[in-house]
């Protein structure tokens, strides 16, 4: 009897201790979010805001690696360390004379914000940053095909995202262009509708999945439902490219990012429109410095995961060779995305 009572008392004590532990407030982490991905960082330079990109990922061995990307080029970060929200690294830069200098960064990532100080022989610079916006995988121009009876019909579906990530879509066919309603992309599924109007008496209802560079789904026109498939325009050039730029001081590194809507980034500089015509790739950037304008043009050729061409400015031209980045699956070594596959999803509010 005594053993039974003792057993019950011990059991009650253990139960009470577990209950108290579960109810006790847990210490909150003082930092939020992770490191990996692109961060847009800004700093004031003589009254002018300078913008760069910090890009963090893992190498094939799972080690943390990072890059500092700006209009001037790309540099690999050294002595990168991120632990408990504290971020430190070193960055080497080279001037026009070919001389190199080292800057040291120390900062934090807290609640999705990156702040810190860069220290060099020239002094200190304060930096603030936030994650780069990541467009939905549904964004882009899709060449759509479907069969109605014995007729094969082709149309174009153009999907855009605003600054808040809200999606809009326009369906263009031989009958004209129609603005879609209730456009959503959630958990890999794209849906939208189009209600009848005085000009168009038929309704449209679409549901499908984005699979790499292909959009597969079903379109219901009035009461008739049919399978439909779309191909993403510009797919061969869409993604991230590591560039080598020939210069008198030696080869300079740079990054080209081509978005699914054919806008992009050269370094940290926005590109409004990138043109892919067959295997020919071109774009133009116009930078303004007060009353002055600086124009830069690229014209090149695409061959699978290789890009070659020439970058032309008022100061002359430079040869460029580029290699497409093939993303890896997960964090382990040796797991790579198949050649030609679309880059990993870049989410938005409509993902």
Contact predicate 183/201, CB 8 Å:
no
Q: What is the pLDDT of residues 72-106, one digit of tens each?
A: 899 999 999 999 999 999 999 877 666 788 999 99
Distance, in Å, from the CA atom of 45 to the CA atom of 40, rounded to the nearest integer, reads 16
The mean pLDDT value for 119-136 works out to 91
Please tell us whether the domain made up of 140-232 is placed in CATH 2.40.128.120.
yes
Cα–Cα distance measured from residue 66 to residue 204, given in angstroms and rounded to the nearest whole number: 46
Cα angle 76-68-261, degrees, rounded to a multiple of 5:
115
- What's the CA gap between 51 and 128, in Å, rounded? 10
Residue 133 CB partners (closer than 8 Å, separation 6+):
163, 165, 348
- How far apart CA 211 and CA 280 sit, in angstroms, is 26
- Model confidence at 341: pLDDT above 80: no
pLDDT of res. 327: 67
Q: Kindly tell me if the per-residue pLDDT of 15 is higher than 70.
A: no
CA atoms within 13 A on the CB side of 151: 4
Q: Mean of the pLDDT values across residues 138-152?
A: 90
User: In terms of CATH architecture, what is 37-131?
Assistant: Beta Barrel (2.40)
Q: What is the pLDDT of residue 25?
A: 39
SS3 231: strand
Nearest by Cα to 33 from 68, 84, 67:
84
Cα gap 319→311, rounded to integer Å: 6
Considering the chain, tell me which residue range(s) the CATH 2.40.128.120 domain(s) occupy. Answer: 37-131, 140-232
In 3-state terms, what secondary structure has residue 322?
Answer: strand
Residue 3 has phi, psi (to 5 degrees) of: -65, -40
Residue 5's H or E segment, with its range, is helix 2-23
Q: What is the reported pLDDT for 96?
A: 67
Please name the residues in contact with 321: beta carbons below 8 A apart, sequence gap of 6 or more: 243, 244, 306, 307, 308
Q: How many CA atoms lie within 13 A of 245 on its CB side?
A: 21
As a whole number of angstroms, the distance between CA 131 and CA 124 comes to 23
Nearest to 51 by CA among 130, 136, 142: 130
DSSP class of residue 262?
A: S
Instruction: Note the pLDDT tens digit of each residue in 271-281.
Output: 999 999 999 99
The pLDDT, as a whole number, for residue 283 is 98
Residue with token string 């500092």 = 68
Q: What is the pLDDT of residue 6?
A: 37
- What mean pLDDT is predicted for residues 204-215? 95
| Letter string b/e over residues 303-338, b meaning 16 or more CB atoms within 10 A of that residue's CB | eeeebebebeeeeeebebbbebbeebeeeeeeeeee
Contacts of 300 (CB under 8 A, 6+ apart): 280, 281, 282, 307, 308, 309, 310, 320, 322
Q: Which CATH number fits domain 239-324: 1.10.10, 2.30.42, 2.40.128, 3.90.75?
A: 2.40.128
Q: Is 164 exposed, middle or buried (0-12, 13-18, 19+ CB in 10 A)?
A: exposed
If pLDDT is split at 50, 70 and 90, which confidence band does 290 have? confident
- Tens digits of per-residue pLDDT, 152-164? 999 999 999 998 8
pLDDT tens-digit map of 17-74: 333 333 333 333 344 458 999 999 999 988 888 999 999 999 889 999 999 999 989 9
The band of 247, judged by pLDDT with boundaries at 50, 70 and 90, is confident
Task: Please write the tens of the pLDDT for every residue from 157-190.
Answer: 999 999 888 999 999 998 889 999 999 999 999 9
Q: How far apart are CA 239 and CA 121, in angstroms?
A: 37
pTM of the model: 0.79
Looking at residue 5, its pLDDT comes to 36
């Amino acid at each position: 009897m005594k053993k039974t009572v003792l057993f019950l008392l011990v059991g009650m004590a253990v139960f009470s201790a577990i209950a108290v532990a579960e109810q006790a407030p847990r210490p909150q982490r003082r930092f939020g979010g992770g490191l990996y991905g692109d961060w847009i960082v800004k700093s004031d330079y003589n009254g002018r805001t300078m913008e760069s990109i910090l890009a963090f990922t893992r190498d094939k061995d799972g080690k943390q690696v990072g890059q500092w990307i700006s209009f001037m080029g790309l540099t690999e970060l050294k002595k990168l360390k991120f632990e408990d929200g504290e971020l430190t690294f070193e960055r080497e830069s080279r001037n026009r004379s070919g001389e190199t200098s080292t800057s040291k960064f120390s900062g934090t990532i807290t609640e999705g914000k990156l702040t810190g100080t860069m220290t060099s022989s020239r002094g200190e610079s304060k930096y603030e940053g936030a994650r780069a916006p990541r467009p939905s995988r549904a964004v882009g121009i899709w060449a759509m095909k479907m069969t109605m009876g014995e007729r094969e019909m082709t149309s174009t579906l153009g999907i855009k995202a605003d600054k808040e990530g809200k999606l809009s879509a326009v369906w263009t066919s031989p009958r004209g262009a129609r603005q879609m309603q209730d456009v959503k992309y959630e958990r890999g599924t794209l849906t939208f509708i189009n209600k009848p109007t005085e000009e168009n008496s038929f309704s449209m209802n679409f549901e499908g999945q984005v699979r790499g560079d292909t959009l597969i789904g079903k379109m219901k026109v009035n009461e008739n439902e049919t399978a439909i498939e779309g191909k993403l325009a510009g797919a061969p050039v869409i993604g991230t490219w590591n560039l080598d730029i020939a210069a008198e001081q030696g080869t300079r590194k740079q990054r080209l990012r081509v978005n699914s809507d054919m806008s992009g980034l050269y370094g940290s500089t926005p590109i409004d429109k990138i043109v892919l015509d067959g295997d020919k790739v071109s774009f133009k950037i116009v930078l303004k410095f007060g009353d002055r304008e600086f124009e830069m043009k690229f014209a090149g050729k695409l061959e699978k995961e290789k890009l070659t061409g020439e970058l032309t400015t008022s100061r002359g031209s430079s040869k460029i060779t580029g290699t497409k980045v093939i993303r890896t699956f997960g964090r382990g070594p040796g797991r790579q995305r198949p050649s030609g596959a679309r880059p990993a999803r870049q989410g938005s509010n409509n993902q």
